Amino acid sequence: VAKTSLTSPPWPEVKLPDPVEEAKYHAEVVQKVNKMIATGQYGRLFAVVHFASKQWKITSEDLIMMDNVLEAECGDRIRMEKVLLVGADDFTLIGRPLLGKDLVRVEATVIEKTESWPKINMRFWKRHNYQRKKIITNPQTVLRINTIEIFPCLV
Amino acid sequence: MVLLSAPRWLRSRLTDRFWRVQEVLKYARHFRGRKNRCYKLAVRSVRRAFVRSTKARREKKRFLRALWITRIEAASLEHGLKYPAFISNLFKSQVELNRKMIADLAIYEPKTFKSLAALAQRRRQEGFLAALGDGKEPEGIFSRVVHHY
């Protein structure tokens, strides 16, 4: 039968690769990455961590400032548990949505607990003799990320 | 002798007018024109500046989100995906990175962003296949498709 414009659907045909072959390939890749982690062939690790209702992209030895109070004294070591992504130069581990606690370990220390610079909140309605001025200082906490470690327990 | 009321030559006069004026002028020092020197003009400018900064703090969030979305769109177009496809498929595959993170990854970790784009593309294709179905007709229908034999 002759091919017309309506024989095949107008969207491009999508073919997925063979599931068996794909499973083999996936297992191979996972083994390779596991070996790399076990032998320690990665340079600097970066992680995406969900902390204080924000997501941060962190590496070791960098500073983070949160705009709220943390119930820990200065000098306390903290382990951040909600890790979304960990990556190095050659591989990345993407969590769905979080990575396991036995896979990544992110340690941080509380360095400083201060207040922010005085921010000015002003409201003014013209011709109504209404103005209010308020000075707000938010409490802030500064954390230093000490280490990010990964362990070779990929399946 | 006890005076029951203060004498007339005793007045309470303002002594720190200079510092009160300086408190306002210090916020106006970087303005242009006479409003950085003259108190009467400076008071109005400083008041408007404060009100604008309070309102801008609320708009900043919207503005930054639009900026991140633009950046993610540009980066995903480099990998052959449009922004709505990228974001929707990423959420459907349970990756909960927010737009700020994805924009930062697109700038500083291009390889990671490429893998995220590949993930979104694969999930998109799987979604298409799932929506198209098996190609079989439902039961009870005489014929829907004309078969050429």
Condensed to tens digits (0 to 9), the pLDDT of residues A56-75 reads: 999 999 999 999 999 999 99
The predicted pLDDT at position A9 comes to 84
Q: What's the mean pLDDT in B30-55? A: 96
- What pLDDT score does A5 carry? 87
Which whole number is the average pLDDT over B47-73? 96
For B20-32, what is the mean pLDDT?
Answer: 95
State whether B111 and B124 are in the same domain: yes
pLDDT at A13: 86
User: Nearest CA to CA, how far is B50 from chain A (Å)?
Assistant: 6
Query: Do B52 and B78 belong to one domain?
Result: no
**Chain B contact for A87, CB < 8 A?**
yes
Q: Cβ of B53 and A120 within 8 Å?
A: yes
User: Regarding beta strands A63-66 and A46-51, do their DSSP bridges make them parallel or antiparallel, or are they unpaired?
Assistant: unpaired
- CATH code for the domain in which residue B100 is found: 1.10.1900.20
* pLDDT one-digit tens code per residue, B70-101: 999 999 999 999 999 999 999 999 998 999 89
- The answer, yes or no, to whether residue B110 has pLDDT greater than 70, is yes
Count of domains forming chain B: 2
Q: Is B136 an 8 Å CB contact of chain A?
A: no
Within the 76-115 window of chain B, which residues sit less than 8 Å (CB to CB) from chain A? Answer: 93-98, 100-101, 104-105, 108-109, 111-112, 115
Best of B47, B48, B50 to disrupt the A interface (most A CBs within 10 Å) is: B50
Mutate to test the interface with A, among B53, B54, B90, B114 (most CBs of A within 10 A): B54
Residue B144: predicted pLDDT:
65
* pLDDT confidence of residue B133: 75
Q: What is the pTM of this model?
A: 0.86
- The verdict on B30 touching A (C-beta cutoff 8 Å) is no
B7 is written with which tokens? 């004498």
Q: Domain containing B107: what range?
A: 62-132
Whose structure tokens read 């002798």? B1
Is residue B121, in this structure, part of any structural domain at all? yes
Domain boundaries, chain A: 19-150
Q: What is the pLDDT of residue A1?
A: 78
Closest CA to B112 of A89, A50, A128: A89
| pLDDT of res. A79 | 93
- Is A152 within 8 Å of A37 (Cβ atoms)? yes
Mean pLDDT throughout A122-135?
95
User: What is the model's pLDDT at position B131?
Assistant: 86
